[in-house]
Chain A
Amino acid sequence: MKLELKGITKRFGSLVANDHIDLVVEPGQVHCLLGENGAGKSTLMNVLYGLYDPTEGEILVDGKPVVFKDPGEAMAAGIGMVHQHFMLIPVFSVAENVALGNETTKAAGLLNLEATREKIRRISDQYGFDVDPDAMVEDLPVGVQQRVEIIKALVRDAEVLILDEPTAVLTPQETDELLDIIRQLKRDGKSIVFISHKLREVKAISDTITVIRRGKVVGQADPTASPTELASAMVGRTVSLTLDKAPAKTGEVTFKVRNLTVTDHNGQHVVDDLSFDIAKGEVLAIAGVQGNGQTELTEAILGVQPHVAGSITLDGEELLGKSVKHVLGAGVGFVPEDRTLDGLVGTFTIAENMILDLYDKAPFARGVGMKPGLIAENAAKKVEEFDVRTPSVSAAVGTLSGGNQQKVVLARELSRPLRLFIASQPTRGLDVGSIEFVHKRVIAERDHGTPVMIVSTELDEVLQLADRIAVLYRGRLVGIVPATTSRDVLGLMMAGVPAAEAEANASAHASGVTAAPTVSEPAGHEGETHV
């Protein structure tokens, strides 16, 4: 099936998300859409999938114009989509999820789930998915959930499969497996649209690359193009792919975590017997695939996790079991991983968000009374200092762009004397300009002599910021390695392989034992962007 998009434009009010985009997906081809966060890739695919109506332009299937009023029609036309955030119902079984919208029924509309189970088993065998049709989705690991999504598309006889940022939640090894599946699908004649901002994967899998920037197609690229070229095309200017940073001047160790264990509501140890130190003036990056205990680790330090054991000390003071207020008061700056959910109150003003954790401290409050004048003054100063682009400090913070929102969080957290700085996914969803700004600020705080802990699932970011790297896997510490460790070794460690063994394995990879397309490069090597 050949899919064409002609002059697709999508406007949200005065905002142009897609501007006359042309795209041709040939049958049996892997077509990559490369672009920064917010470039309009997902909007384009939602238009294609019938979730949005295009403002202008048309979609052609095998040369014939089609209009998809809703995703059902797009699916009927043979288009399947695996969303970045899985569209699965957690309390349904795999079979129910796959059946949904495409049900096989007996008389009187009664469900015939057995037919669906059969289809799942068939596809599962064909591609080696190993998915149990009767498992509850909420009990499945992320990688398997993704396969359920692919099965959902295949059961509907999708000819074009759109994968939106499919590797964001996978380990490097799982990513390799996914790429293998994509190759297999391609062999079966399916077309794949692969949306990503990760250059390595894009280079490894694609037949054609279309680069999108600010809603426009800025060009086609060849998979053989150098990463720097691709990065520049994506961002629109030459990007310095390395961060200017002096070697760490480490001081004494002030932050110590010993035998930290966090138990979740199911009784599982989501953080398991963790011990590490951070010294003044160094950045320890916590690497790992999403969902391996990073969130719980940072939340345990902050004091919002309910079942914690072990010890966390800052300058000798025990923080475990203390209230959040106490921990913040002890000089911990905290940037949560999801700023809209945990970092900001969307309907509050910028000024109020700037004092969200200082509202009851002098000079902003005396007793229970607050001082609006001082609060506004403070906000004006911080907006200036952190270059927050906003018409007014009394604008609701929810109206700001992601980059500016993150600047508000940083401005708040870095505006008081810190003895420990923790930032989770500090640049998630930001554009390149904001990322550079955030990274500079983090390093500045380090150079100021503060122990810094960065949690990131982006290996590039970890390699750029870290002085040392701690890898988490299933809540356990796989190892702490220097920042010069190779990407391959880190990738293996993220899958749970101990450092020494990973070194050995990685050299085997490099000599071509497996077909995994991982490119072996030393850390900090030019040619990688971190977007």
Chain B
Amino acid sequence: MSATTQSPASKQPGTGKTTGANRAAGRAATTELVSWKAGVGLGLLAILGTVLFGFLANTKSAGFRIAEARDPNASSTAAWVTLVVALAAAGYLGYRWISQRREGGGVDRWIPATTIAAVVVLGLAALGVAQVEKITVPSMVFGWICALLLLGLAGYAILLTLQRRRTPGWLGGLFAVVFLVGFMIWIVAGGRDPEPSISLGGLMAGAVTLAVPLVFGSLSGVLCERAGVVNIAIEGQLLLGAFSAAVVATVTGNVYVGLISAAVAGALVSLVLAVVSIKYLVNQIIVGVVLNVLISGLTSFLFSTLLTADPENLNKPGRLQAVDIPFLADIPIIGPILFRQSLVGYLMYVAVIVVYVGLFHTKWGLRVRAVGEHPQAADTVGINVNRTRFINVLMGGAIAGIGGSFFTLVSVDAFSKDMSGGRGYIALAAMIFGRWNPIGAFLAALLFGFADNLQSIITIIGSPVPSQFMAMLPYALTVIAVAGLVGRSRPPAADGIPYVKG
């Protein structure tokens, strides 16, 4: 009976470093396993892009109008200041990036993204300084350029996969940008006009506006799921928030009271979710789904009985007007997009930053994440798991409720049946697409808002793409994201698992 005996790598028993179960450190024998998904996914998208932007392109040109300024002088000054600030920021960040690379250490995670943001701002400011009013591109030529770039990037990804190397993150990002550019050119050039064009500023501003409830909803999801409670009830929270804001603002005659009541209403939905799922251990998904039906039924019933009977006294809340932030609102392109928002819009920025900093840089956030990842471990260091979850779910509800007030206080000035229209589910999708991270969820929500706005613009300019397909986009992207075809998302480990002590 034979046995192959081999000499193991480590021969130093008892020196204090020998660890029997060491799997991570210094093992020579490894085989790099690379998922085929990235290569295949990008390849398919590249082929799609080539067909659409290349073969299906027409000979028209696509115009992108830059929104014109209200006050040219103020605008010009703001543009110059922004240009200088962005230049300085980009220079500093670039320097940090390069110096950190040169030192051989890893680059801080926030640097690449921030640098890119600074460069984008720089470019936009330059457009403003140069007072460019419209960019026109021939769709056929640029379509093919984009298509070839996509094919090249996908080919590189596939090559890497074949060589058993991982696809770098920047490749996916670049691919997405090129795809988006190609897509926009193709869409716009397909318009009815002989020289079709759209307003870029309007498109972006609309996207941000439409994203507001999505961002609030997805932040609600982030708060709940980071603590380990699945929140399907975002839709219900948005809807009751909208309802409550409308009714309370009308009754009290004060939109701000309405706003606060929306937060309370959202928290109320959360209260039911928390009690039933945390105290009575009912499956969180079941509770969420049922709550959405309940709130839909409840608000519709009350709308049909009370609100329609007496709209003057119950359903005429008035509006939260858009407020310009001095100076910032004058920056060309960026200003109208970001700094001409309603109070709810500004609250959105605050909420994103507060939730992000809170979750990742405070004591509270560390505890919340611990509860969502490993509740037992949190319990053994004296953290009350279920109370933490309870509070987080309530906060999430309040945030989503504020998001709901957007429908009745900003977007339309009256409540109507099921007016959240499934945006709670898109918010859920945004949270997943944003990988359970407030910033990620914010960006995903912006993307979905963009798709939503693009859909209506397509209908207006009469583009060949059926608007239903644009409407589908957020959902399709989410399916792709959760299937892991692009990137990998990892939910909190204890997400959805009720915590029972012991």
Chain A interface (Cβ within 8 Å of chain B)?
A: 46, 49-52, 70-75, 81, 83, 87-92, 96-97, 99-103, 105, 108-111, 128, 130, 139-144, 152, 169-171, 173-174, 176-177, 253, 263-270, 272-273, 275-277, 279, 288-292, 307, 468, 470, 473-474, 476-480, 492, 494-499, 501, 505, 514, 516
> Are A477 and B5 also in contact (CB < 8 A) when A103-B363, A111-B362, A289-B21 are?
yes
| B459 close to A (CB within 8 Å) | no
Write the chain A residue with the least CB distance to B364. A109
Instruction: Give the residues in chain B near A492, CB-CB below 8 Å.
Output: 13
User: B9: which of A83, A143, A474 is its contact (CB, 8 Å)?
Assistant: A474
Contact A267 B32 (CB under 8 A): yes
Known A-B contacts A100-B367, A291-B21; A70 and B384 likewise in contact (beta carbons under 8 Å): yes
A144 in contact with B370 given A152-B381, A479-B3 (CB within 8 Å) = no
- Shortest Cβ gap from A494 to chain B (Å): 7
Tell me, in angstroms, the Cα distance from A103 to B369 when the chains sit together.
Answer: 14
Flag if B20 contacts A473 (CB, 8 Å).
yes
Given A276-B3, A480-B5 in contact, is the A497-B13 Cβ separation under 8 Å? yes
Q: Does B70 touch A at the CB level, under 8 Å?
A: no
Kindly state the separation between the CA atoms of A468 and B17 in the bound complex, as whole angstroms. 29
What separation, in Å, do the CA atoms of A478 and B3 have in the docked complex? 10
- Find the B residue at minimum CB distance from A139: B24
Q: Which residue of A lies closest to B360 (CB)?
A: A111
Interface of B toward A, CB cutoff 8 Å: 1-11, 13-14, 16-25, 27, 29-33, 357, 361-367, 369-370, 373-374, 376-384, 493, 501-502
The chain A residue sitting closest to B365, CB to CB, is A111
Q: How far is the CB of B414 from chain A (nearest CB, A)?
A: 40
**CB-CB < 8 A to B19: which residues of A?**
141-144, 171, 174
Chain A residues, Cβ within 8 Å of B383: 72, 100-101
Q: Which residues of A contact B14 (CB under 8 A)?
A: 173, 176-177, 495, 514, 516
**A268 B367 Cβ-Cβ under 8 A:** no
Q: Are A267 and B33 in contact (CB under 8 A)?
A: yes
Given that A105-B363, A289-B20, A474-B27 are known contacts, is A89 also in contact with B13, CB under 8 Å in the complex?
no
**In the complex, what residues of B have CB within 8 A of residue A174's CB?**
18-20
Chain A residue, CB-CB nearest to B11 = A497
Kindly list 5 other residue pairs between chains A and B, CB separation below 8 angstroms, not including A70-B382, A87-B376, A473-B20.
Answer: A70-B384, A277-B1, A480-B5, A495-B13, A497-B11
- In the complex, what's the smallest C-beta–C-beta distance from A295 to chain B, in angstroms? 11
Instruction: Report the minimum CB–CB distance from A66 to chain B (whole Å).
Output: 15
Q: Is the CB of B33 within 8 A of A307?
A: yes
Are B20 and A170 in contact, with the CB atoms below 8 A? yes
Residues of B within 8 A of A141 (CB): 19-25
With both beta carbons as reference points, the residue of chain B lying nearest to A105 in the complex is identified as: B363
Q: How far is the CB of B225 from chain A (nearest CB, A)?
A: 14
Determine whether the beta carbon of A173 is less than 8 Å from that of B13.
yes
Query: Cβ of A100 and Cβ of B366 under 8 Å apart?
Result: yes
Residues on B with beta carbons closer than 8 Å to the beta carbon of A108? 362
Given contact pairs A70-B382, A173-B13, A516-B14, A268 touches B363 in the complex (Cβ within 8 A): no
Contact between chains at A49 and B1 (CB < 8 Å): no
Query: Is the beta-carbon distance between A103 and B18 smaller than 8 angstroms?
Result: no
A71 engages B382 (CB within 8 Å): yes
B366 CB contacts on chain A under 8 angstroms: 96, 99-100, 103, 111
Q: What is the CA–CA distance of A50 and B380 in the complex, to the nearest angstrom?
A: 9
B364 touches A268 (CB 8 A): no
Give A259's nearest chain B residue, CB to CB: B4
Whether the pair B382, A88 counts as a contact (CB closer than 8 A) is no
Is the Cβ of A105 less than 8 Å from the Cβ of B381? no
Q: Which chain B residues lie closer than 8 Å to A140 at the CB level?
A: 24
Q: How far is the CB of A398 from chain B (nearest CB, A)?
A: 15
A52 touching B502, Cβ below 8 Å: yes
Complex formed: what's the CA distance from A357 to B110 in Å? 52
Q: Is the CB of B33 within 8 A of A110?
A: no
Bound together, the chains give a CA A177 to CA B16 distance in angstroms of: 7
Q: How far is the CA of A170 from the CA of B384 in the complex (A)?
A: 31
Kindly provide the distance from the CB of A376 to the nearest chain B CB, expressed in whole angstroms: 31
Q: Is the CB of B363 within 8 A of A111?
A: yes
Q: How far is the CB of A344 from chain B (nearest CB, A)?
A: 20
Name A494's contact: one of B20, B367, B370, B380 (CB within 8 Å).
Answer: B20
B16:A105 contact, CB within 8 angstroms: no
